[in-house]
Chain A
Amino acid sequence: MAEESFLADDFLRQLMSVGEVDLLVGIPSYNNASTLGQTLQSVEESLLQNFVRERAAILNVDGGSTDETLQVFEQSAEQRGASHKGLTSLRTIHRISCQYDKSPSQGWALRNIVAAADLLRARACAVISPATANVTPLWVANLLRPVHREGLDFVAPLYVRSRFQGLLARDLLYPMTRAVFGQRIRELYADEWGFSGRLASQCLEKDVWHEEPVRVRPQAWMAITAIGGGLKCGQYFLGPKGAAPAGTGPDIVEAIRQTVGNFFWCMETNQAYWLSRSNSQPVSTFGPDHELSSDGIPPSPEKIFELFRTGVTELEPILASILAPDTHAQIKAIALSDRTKFHFAMELWVKTLYEFAASYHHTVLNRDHLVQALVPLYRGKLYSFLLEHANSSGEEMEAQSEILCQEFERQKPYLVERWTAKS
């Protein structure tokens, strides 16, 4: 039996009214009443300042908010133009909205956005999160412009982060993505990004929208789809990333499940692309010269080491089934070392991750459990990082990151070997 259309009739009616657009900005929301108005204003100002001739639509995709998110969207549509400092567009900037009747997920939201992009034949699209505190009109323009004017298909943001912000991306996601997929895209799991209508159409056709990794964190999948499809990717330096309010982001377990689990799944579904590739290439990077690391206060390492040590002990049988004996032995050894002299070696870290990826592929145990087993090891790596870089400058940390990336690339044959080995 054919799948029911996921597009609501009312949404379709709105799309019919909009017709064709050059630009589409999607704003996924769920209980964002307090910030949505500001986000909408930034998006509209961006369109007015930078794309005055283009046909544009702003699409709010809501996951069933129980606060006043929907009312904020409707009201701001009525008040629009009043607060734009005399800016005016040649054309109507369409505002449309839809609600999907599933539990809130970035994937469902993105599915509606790419469907809208496909049906509206949008040339350039951006996803902007109302949860990001400091979205500026320039951000929106910078994500759209490389797609609209330079012909790119995927544009990731590039943020300046404090030295101790985004460590999961720095130590794991970025270097591993770079080594596996061969493109140096730094922020694969950002909440804002740009993409082409062509990529939207390709993604829409994929039968993966019910897969949990796509439902939860679709942005990296979209980027990897672009890379795998030979489409042009780039990144735009947006400046400092506003931190989400405390307590609103996922905890480390959930973050690893969502990102690393997602990444392993992407490796699985795109193995035909990456298995035969080596080395990595820089992607087009736009924006002013920039430093990627700024000053910041290191988080307290207390407990982190203990959690690592306890985890290694408690998860010993599970780790034994995931890791090669030698790797496992080395980890157990460092877990017993003096915490003040603790060092999680780069080589070991890369090998560990590659073994996790291969075990995920071979499904040596429940994949979700497998990914969660990485959490204590990541904590160990994090603790080691904090010890080593408490007094490092941003530049030194960047240099270290580059060395780590190269290590990931150097060991990629090991990954391929483990991945392709008969289980």
Chain B
Amino acid sequence: MLSQDENLWYKDAIIYQLHVRTFCDSNADGIGDFRGLTSKLDYLQELGINAIWLLPFYPSPLRDDGYDIADYTSVHPSYGSLQDFKDFLTAAHNRRIRVITEMVVNHTSDQHPWFQEARSSRENPKRDWYVWSDTDTRYQGVRIIFIDTEMSNWAWDPISKSYYWHRFFNHQPDLNYDNPAVREAMWEVMKFWLDIGVDGFRLDAVPYLIERDGTSCENLPETHEIIRDLRKRIDLAYPGKMLLAEANQWPADVISYFGNGDEFHMAFHFPLMPRMFMAVKLEDRKPIIEILEQTPQIPETCQWCIFLRNHDELTLEMVTNVERDYMYDEYAVDKAMRINLGIRRRLAPMMENDRRRVELLTGLLLSMPGTPIIYYGDEIGMGDNIYLGDRNGVRTPMQWNGGWNAGFSAADPERLYSPLISNAIYGYQAINVDSQRRSAHSLLSWTKSVIQTRNAFRVFSRGSIEFLNPSNHRVLAYVRKLGDEKVLIVNNLSSSAQAVELNLQMYKRHIPIEMFGRNLFPRIGDLPYLLTLGPYQFYWFRLRRI
């Protein structure tokens, strides 16, 4: 039995996000698998992360990278067996790494037996497990999410001669959560994995569970009822397990998914992510401050999940049109870099391989309130391939070394599920784990060190934040506080050296201790505290009163 504090493990987590397919191939079939992933757990432990978020690994026709699930309770044969997964889970737990799996609750693949039954006839008992209509005009005005590919949220089913509702691709019919049988079936699925030992679920596309006429069909009260019921069951039967919401909404809307601490434990802070990129490009802290000021308080036991990049496009849904245009112009000038309402690029290429900016953004990610998520490969500065279609360009094989297939697989290169990144700048010969392990000054070594520092101070994961407002808007400065523990973070968002005067009167007589080099800085006195920072430089200071 975990203690009350241990139940909040997700607050102290640093999550590493990966797709098993991309990480390591143990059987030379060109596709990553659980045995391969297990063999790399030492690397992840060494990196310092303490949770892994696995993208869908279930049987699936893979028309949406596994988010089109055809069987919720087994493992896609390409990735191994259920036993392989269990072995991986045990090995991860042995290294004190928790495992969060993806649970696509809103929809299934059209290949799922549930849907196959439902479409077989209008009288089939599973018919009502999905949302059907004789017309495609119901729920008019509801936005289409995949605007590049879908014309409607309804798709025609020629078998049962009616329309089915889908918020994502037309091969992903939405489940009907008004049907209690669906809710029970999904709970059975979750129990299956919780019994095996997974530590939490990332619930995909939560806002869309319920449809109602005359609404946006998003964030409806009935959806929250479903979540509350689910949470109650988990707390009762599986205390210490965690639910993470994927709700790409404004903070004021997402906040409802925390309920009164009785819905999700965590939710992604989607609007913060593009604003971190924007702030660095604009060289102005305004976007970050503005969005965090608009972010409401959340219940004590809840936590935001923050991230820079993930397996999807860098979504620009939660920005204004002006901001979106700016992001496109600055980060996706080539149209091939754009998809849907977002940018399909990785962190390092977006930062033009500028180590200083990659570090600055990673420093921001690890020092702001919330549980950070690191996308696989970003710790070594992997590149992308915008010509691979969909979002596959950011889902290429992990680059372990400069040898055969980047050390990812022993298969013939032609068999790999995806081509490797092989260009002169980001190619695996230049960017790989082995070579960066050998240098104390590599991005990988730096990332390890910054994670280690974050892990050593709970103030980062649980502390409050108080923004300082120096007149120099190129500098983003804040103090994180937890009890007596105080940390001062000062970031230069600009490409030029900056001087900044900080009002630290509240911390008079404290001694700032730089946290990476552990050097003492002058004691805080009566005058504004003057710091100078090089381009994109940042400081983390521990404030100690001795």
Q: Knowing A16-B499, A19-B498, A52-B322 touch, does A90 contact B287 (C-beta < 8 A)? A: yes
Q: Which of B18-26, B74-82, B417-425, B466-474 contacts A (4 or more CB under 8 A)?
A: B466-474
- Set A14, A52, A90: member contacting B471, Cβ < 8 A: A14
Check A92 against B322 for contact (C-beta < 8 Å). Answer: no
Query: In chain A, what residue has the closest Cβ to B500?
Result: A17
CB distance from A372 to the nearest CB of B (A): 47
**Mask of A44-78 contacts with B, CB within 8 angstroms, 1/0:** 00000000110100000000000000000000000
Q: B322 contacts A90, CB within 8 Å? A: yes
A-B contact count (CB 8 A): 45
Shortest Cβ distance from residue B209 to the other chain A in the assembled complex, whole angstroms: 31
Contacts A88-B320, A90-B322 given; indicate if A17 touches B284 (C-beta within 8 A).
no
Question: Is the CB of A94 closer than 8 A to any CB of chain B?
Answer: yes
For chain A residues 1-57, which have a beta carbon within 8 Å of chain B?
A: 13-14, 16-20, 52-53, 55
Residues of B within 8 A of A90 (CB): 278, 282, 284, 286-287, 322-323, 326
B139 to chain A minimum Cβ distance, whole angstroms, is: 28
- CB-based contact A53/B326 at 8 Å: yes
Q: Do most interface residues of chain A lie in helix, strand or loop, or is the interface mixed?
A: loop
Please classify how large the interface on chain B is, using the bins under 10, 10 to 19, 20 to 34, 35 or more.
20 to 34
CB distance from B473 to the nearest CB of A (A): 4
Task: Check: B496 CB closer than 8 A to any chain A CB.
Answer: yes
- Complex CA–CA separation, A323 to B498 (angstroms): 61
**A55–B284 CA distance with the chains assembled, in angstroms:** 9
CA A296 to CA B471, docked complex, whole Å:
49
Interface size class of chain A, counting residues whose CB lies under 8 Å from the partner chain: 10 to 19
Proximity bits, A76-98, B CB within 8 Å = 1, else 0: 00000000000011111010000
The chain A residue sitting closest to B286, CB to CB, is A92
Most buried by A among B470, B471, B496, B500: B471
Known contacts A16-B472, A16-B499, A17-B472: does B322 contact A91 (CB below 8 Å)? no
Report Cα–Cα, A94/B498, bound state, in Å: 16
Question: Cβ of A18: which chain B residues have Cβ within 8 Å of it?
Answer: 472-473
Distance of A364 from chain B, by nearest CB (Å): 54
Q: Is B108 an interface residue (CB 8 A)?
A: no
- Asked if B470 and A17 sit within 8 Å, CB to CB, the answer is yes
Whether A17 lies near B322 (C-beta < 8 A) is no
Distance, CA A340 to CA B323, complexed state (A) = 67
- Alpha-carbon separation in the docked complex, A193 to B496 (Å): 31
Q: Is the CB of B499 within 8 A of A91?
A: no
Say how far A129's CB is from chain B's closest CB, in angstroms.
Answer: 26
Nearest chain B residue, comparing its CB with the CB of A20: B496
18 residue pairs A–B, Cβ–Cβ below 8 Å? A13-B471, A17-B470, A17-B472, A18-B472, A19-B472, A19-B473, A19-B474, A19-B494, A19-B496, A20-B496, A52-B322, A53-B326, A90-B287, A90-B322, A91-B282, A91-B286, A92-B285, A92-B473
Q: Write the residues of chain B forming the contact surface with A, with a CB cutoff of 8 angstroms.
A: 278, 282-287, 320, 322-323, 326, 470-474, 494, 496, 498-501
The 9 closest A-B pairs by CB, nearest first: A17-B471, A17-B472, A92-B473, A91-B284, A92-B286, A91-B282, A92-B284, A52-B322, A90-B282
